[in-house]
Amino acid sequence: MKHANEFLKESINKYCAVIGKDPLLVQGAGGNVSWKDGDTLWVKASGTWLADALDKNIFVPVNLVHLQLAINSGDFTVTPKVIDNSELRPSIETLLHALMPHQVVIHLHAIEPLAYLVRNNPEFEIAQNLKTNISWALVSYQKPGEALAKAVADAITETPKANILFLQNHGIVIGGTDIEEVNNILTNILTDLSIDPIVNNVTTVNPSPILTGHVVEYFPIENTNLQHLALMPEIFNRLKQDWVLYPDHVVFLGASPNCYETEEYLLKDIEKGYEPELAFLREQGVYVKSNFSLAKQVQLECYYNVIIRQPKEAALNSLNEKEISDLLNWDAEKYRQQIAK
Ligand SMILES: [Zn+2]
C-alpha cells in the first residue's frame, strides 16, 4: 500500500507537469513548487523545469528544521542542507517555501498577476479586482534571496493567515494544505485578475531573414506572435523604458533591448563588431541569431505576454539601475544562467 506522502508526491508531480507546460504560468526553469513531509522540505531543484516533473527527478529534499531554526533567529542567508546525496541544488528561492507555513507551496511568475505587479501601485488595482475572499499580502520589490526572504517573513508576521503573497515585480506565492486547495486559489485569482491582451485582432506576417554578408545571420524569431514587439509602434516604443520589469528577464535577456530604427543601424553595429543575439527593428521584425537559446526565447515570450496586457495609459515600475546591477552581479543567478544555457 502506498504511503499518503507518496500520493502527495505523485499528485504534485502531475500538477507540476501540467502547470509547467502553460506559458502563462511557468517560463522555462522559472517558478517552483514544494511540499513539507515531517522534518523534510521537498523543493524544486535549481535549473530544472516544472514541465519535466513526470520524466525526471526535479525535487530535492532539504532539512526543514534547520531552515526554520535559521529563519527564527533572523538568519536569511542560510544555505539549505540537502538530505540525500542528490547532486541537484535546491532552488535559490527555497527560503520562500520554508517561510510559508502551508504543506504545499507554489511560487509562479504567472503572467496575469505579474502584469499587475509590474505597474506602479499594484496593491490598489489588485484589491479592486480580487473578488475571491482570501487573505493576501503584497511584498514590495526585493532582490530574490536574503532581502526577499526577509520581506516575505515580515509580510507573514503581519498577515499570518495569508494564503497568497503578491511579490511586486516578481510573481506570486500560494500556500495550501494540498494541491487541490492551492489550485483552487490559483484558479480564482487568475479569473479575477485576467486581462485581455491588446493584440487580440492583430495579424502578423513573418519577415524575411537578414543576410549580413558575413557569417552572422539574423532570423525572425520562431514564435510569430512575438513580431508584435517590433511591428506595433505602441509596444516598440515601450521596449526601451519598460524593458526590465522582473528579475528573470534581466538575467536572461540583459539590461537593455537592442532596438533599431532601421536595418542599416543593425548592420552598422555588426560591422563594428557588435552582434546582438536579439534585435528589434522598428516596424520590420524581431530577429535572433541561431544560437538564441530556448531559455531566452521563453523569457521573451514571458515579457511579450506581460507587455501585451498593459493598457496604453499604464505606468510601469521598471527596475532601476542599482536593482539591475545587483541582479547581474549575483552568483546564484550566474549559476542558474549557466545551467540554463
Ligand atoms: Zn521567482
Q: pTM higher than 0.85 for the full model?
A: yes
Ligand 1 center to 337 CA (angstroms): 14
Ligand 1 center to 110 CA (angstroms): 10
The span from the CA of 178 to the CA of 191, in Å, is 20
Ligand 1 center to 306 CA (angstroms): 15
End-to-end CA distance of the chain: 41
Give the three-class secondary structure for 132.
Answer: coil
∠ CA 211-213-214, nearest 5°, is 105
Ligand 1 center to 319 CA (angstroms): 15
Ligand 1 center to 225 CA (angstroms): 25
pLDDT tens for the chain, 341 residues long, are: 557 778 889 999 999 999 999 999 999 888 999 999 999 999 999 999 999 999 999 999 999 999 999 999 999 999 999 998 888 999 989 999 999 999 999 999 999 999 999 999 999 999 999 998 899 999 999 999 999 999 999 999 999 999 999 999 999 999 999 999 999 999 999 999 999 998 765 566 667 777 666 656 888 998 889 999 999 999 999 998 899 999 999 999 999 999 999 999 999 998 898 999 999 999 999 999 988 999 999 999 999 999 999 998 899 999 999 999 999 886 655 555 555 55
The span from the CA of 174 to the CA of 186, in Å, is 7
Ligand 1 center to 10 CA (angstroms): 23
User: What share of residues in the chain are helix, strand, coil (percent, to 5)?
Assistant: 40, 15, 45
Residue 298 contacts residue 226 (beta carbons within 8 Å): no
Ligand 1 center to 118 CA (angstroms): 14
Ligand 1 center to 8 CA (angstroms): 23
- Helix (H), strand (E) at residue 287: strand 285-288
Residue at grid coordinates 517560463: 27
pLDDT of residue 83: 93
- Hey, what domains does the chain have and what are their CATH numbers? 4-192 (3.40.225.10), 210-340 (no CATH)
Pairing of strands 259-260, 278-281: parallel
